[in-house]
Amino acid sequence: MKCHACGKELAEGAAFCPHCGAELTEAEAGGRARPSWGWADRGRLLEDWPRDGDGQPVAPAFLTHCSSVGFEDEMVAGMLRAYGIPCVKRFPGDGALGRVVLGMSGTGTDIYVPVTMLEEARSILEGESDAQV
């Protein structure tokens, strides 16, 4: 099998070209689904966000403010995603700078979810959800 970008020979089942770094298509990777991680996963938010009757994304609604200490914000966001609820994290004040410099926001994180999923998200955080993972 050859890389579509540089034409060099690839090992069977490779997901990336070791010569040029190109990401291979699913067909080139032997039909296996490629893992989705890092920056590649960020584009899914708009795809996963629910739409209104006009096809526009529904408004975000404030769910909670949580600390970045102990990665509480990451755990809440991961739990919401596990239940199929997309979320947006905002860093109030100068928290975004702290996120870049320190890897966490010193001012905490505001988490927003689609307004149509707000009650379900609240139930999940309170541990009262009947939703199945």
C-alpha 95/C-alpha 18 separation (Å) is 37
Give 120's pLDDT tier (boundaries 50, 70, 90).
Answer: very high
The count of other CB atoms within 10 Å of the CB of residue 92 is 12
Residue 51's DSSP bridge partners are 57
Question: Which has the higher per-residue pLDDT, 119 or 35?
Answer: 119
DSSP-derived letter for residue 24 is P
C-alpha 109/C-alpha 75 separation (Å) is 12
pLDDT of residue 133: 46
Give 2's pLDDT tier (boundaries 50, 70, 90).
Answer: confident
pLDDT tens digits along 49-90: 899 988 888 999 999 998 877 678 888 988 998 899 999 888
pLDDT of residue 107: 76
pLDDT of residue 64: 93
Instruction: Map residue 64 onto helix, strand or coil.
Output: strand
* Mean predicted confidence (pLDDT) in 107-133: 82
Residue matched to tokens 């009947």: 130
Q: What percent of the chain has pLDDT over 90?
A: 23
